[in-house]
Amino acid sequence: MNFIEVSTAKGGPTVKKLTWLALIFVAAALLASPVSPPQEVEYRGAQLEGEVFLCTSDLVTTAGFLRDPSEGKVTQVTGVFEQENVTTWRITLRDSEAEVVAFQGATQTLEAAERFAVRRGPLGVLLTMLKGTSSQTIAIDLSNSSFVYSAQNLHMLMNKTSTFVGSCRPYAS
């Protein structure tokens, strides 16, 4: 099997087939081993309609670096955690903006409403917010009510990301 053909026409070699490069990437992915084995669980959710949702999650992943200023030490952290208490978001869509209010499961605190930009697509909505050196993203698949919330934080004590996965349902006030 010939993975690469080289042509020297017009002053230099050109690669006509890059199959070998694709094979290198596939081999590298197959040889990499995860820190913890991936978990797959079948998910079935109902189609989601409306403009106001209640989204919940008790599963969070986190990865990044924590800084201990008193010792000048930085520690890398990774983990998947199931929270004792569910975190809940009430999301109200309004044209190109959304209002998001979160009730944190870990701390049992109600946070102030935050404004997110809204992008609508064929399967759902993507909400984004940038604040200083932090970003938050919420993706809701309206075809099956799945929900993914991600926060990236960079400040004096950490450089890390947290991702919550769960589901949404219509919210009637």
Contact between residue 162 and residue 60 where contact means Cβ atoms under 8 Å apart: yes
pLDDT at 60 over 80: yes
Residue ranges and CATH numbers for the domains of the chain are 1-32 (no CATH), 52-170 (2.40.128)
CA distance 58 to 164: 7
| Max CA pair span of the chain | 71
Q: Rounded to two decimals, what is the model's pTM?
A: 0.75
Q: What is the pLDDT of residue 133?
A: 87
pLDDT of residue 64 exceeding 90? yes
CA distance 145 to 123: 10
Q: What is the pLDDT of residues 69-95, one digit of tens each?
A: 999 899 999 999 898 889 999 999 999
Q: pLDDT tens-digit profile of 109-151?
A: 888 999 999 999 999 999 999 988 899 999 999 999 999 999 9
